[in-house]
Amino acid sequence: RSRILVSIGESFGTSDKFQKINQMVSSTDWSLKRRLEGDSTPKPLKRL
Amino acid sequence: RYQELQREVSELSEAEDKLDELISKCNLQLRLLTEDSNNKKLGYVRCQDLRNTVDPPDQIVMVIRAPPETQMTVSEPSQGYQISLKSTNGPIDVFLCPED
Amino acid sequence: AQEFRNLELEKQKRLERIRQKRSQLEELILQQIAFKNLVQRNQANEASSKTPPPPGSVIQLPFIIINTDVRTVIDCSISSDKCEYLFNFDNMFEIHDDIEILKRMGMSLGLENGKCTPENLAVAKSLVPKSLESYVTGMARNTNRTPP
C-alpha cells in the first residue's frame, strides 16, 4: 500500500509536495475500493 | 572546439553561482516578509476566498492550521484513504469552511 | 577527444542544474509577489472598511486545505490534546497549500499561467527588488509566448 509523508505548518514550502498525493488519490479506482469494502451505500455524512 | 567548450562551461558556472546567490537572497526576503509582525497580521484569506478557489464551489473545504514540523501521512489502506496528522509543537486547528 | 566528451557531459549537467535552479527561483519570486499582493489587498480592504474583519471570518497563513465532494464521508478521530488527528475518507479528496490558494486567487498576477497583462507586469515588478525584475519580465514574456 502506498504511503506519503510530508511536513506541514510552514508557509511557502515547495508548492509541489501535495501534487504527488493528489495524483495518487485521483488515480485510485474508488468504485473498486467500494466493492472491496462491500457496502456501496454511502454512510450518513458525519460532521467534524 | 575544446577551448570553446571550456569557455562555455565556465560561463555556465558563473550563471549557476549567480542563481544560487539570488535563491538564497529570495529565501531570506520571504522569511523576513512572513516574520514581519504587520505582514503576519495582514497575511490572511477569507472563507469566501477559499470557496472561490474550489470547483465545484459546494465541496467540503477543510482547513488545517498546524504548528511547524507537523507530520502529515497519507496512506492507502484497503478501505478508502487515511490522513494522519501528528504535531510535537502544540495543538492543530482543523475546521470546516462554511458553505455560505 | 575523451576530454572533450567529458566536458560535453559536464556542460549538460550544468545546464540541467541551471534549469532546475531557475524554476526554483521563479517559484520563490511568485511566492514573494503573491504574499505581498495579499497583504496589500487586505490592507486596502481594512482601510476602506475602517475595521479589521471579524476574527472568525479570516484564516491566517500558514494553512493547508483539503477539499472533497460534499457526499464524502469523513471519519475523524482527535486526541484530547489536539496534537493527533486521524481522518478516513471514503472518496477522493485534494490537498492544497496556502501558496497554491493564493495563486488561484490571482495573487501572483497570472505570472504562473500565461495571463500576465502589461498592467499586472508593472505591479509585479514593483513588488520585487531590482535584481529580480528581469526574471519577472522573463516569466511574463515566457508565459505570454504562444505555447509551441
Helix (H) / strand (E) element for C65: namely strand C64-68
User: pTM of this prediction?
Assistant: 0.86
Residue range C70-127, pLDDT digits in tens: 989 899 999 999 999 999 998 889 999 999 999 999 999 999 887 889 999 999 999 9
User: pLDDT for A1-48, tens place per residue?
Assistant: 578 899 998 877 666 779 888 988 888 776 666 655 555 555 555 554
Q: Which amino acid is it at B20?
A: D
Give per-residue pLDDT as tens, C32-59.
999 999 999 999 999 998 888 887 889 9
User: pLDDT tens across C1-16, in order?
Assistant: 999 999 999 999 999 9
Q: Is the pLDDT of residue C138 over 80?
A: yes
H or E element: which one contains C87?
A: strand C84-89
Cell matching residue C85: 488527528
Confidence of residue C146 (pLDDT cuts 50, 70, 90): very low
Tell me what pLDDT residue C91 has.
Answer: 87
Under the banding of pLDDT at 50, 70 and 90, the label for residue C148 is very low
Grid coordinates belonging to C1: 577527444
Cell of C62: 500558514
Q: Which residues in chain C are closer than 8 Å to A31, comparing Cβ atoms?
A: none
The distance of A1 to chain C (nearest Cα, Å) reads 15
Per-residue confidence of chain B (100 residues) as pLDDT tens digits?
999 999 999 999 999 999 999 999 999 999 999 999 999 999 999 988 998 998 888 899 999 999 999 999 998 766 678 999 999 999 999 999 887 6
Residue with cell string 507530520: B71
Q: Is any Cβ of chain A less than 8 angstroms from the Cβ of C90? A: yes
Do the Cβ atoms of B76 and A24 come closer than 8 Å? yes
Query: What is residue C138's three-state secondary structure?
Result: helix
Residue C145 has pLDDT above 50, yes or no: no
The predicted model gives C5-28 an average pLDDT of: 94
Q: Select from C7, C59, C135, C137 the least CA-distant residue to B53.
A: C59
pLDDT value of position A35: 59
Place of cell 560535453: C8
Placement of cell 460532521 in the chain: A47
Sign of the dihedral defined by the CA atoms of residues C13, C18, C21, C23, in that order: negative
Q: Which of these, B91, A47, B95, lies nearest to C57 by C-alpha position?
A: B95
Q: What is the pLDDT of residue C81?
A: 95
Q: Does A28 touch chain C (CB under 8 A)?
A: yes
With an 8 Å Cβ cutoff, are C93 and A25 in contact?
A: yes
Residues 6+ apart with CB under 8 A from C135: B22, C25, C26, C29
How many Å lie between the alpha carbon of B69 and the closest alpha carbon of chain C? Answer: 12
In a mutational test of the B interface, the residue from A1, A2, A3, A8 whose CB has the highest number of chain B CBs within 10 Å is A8
Query: Rounded CA gap, C34 and B53, in Å?
Result: 15
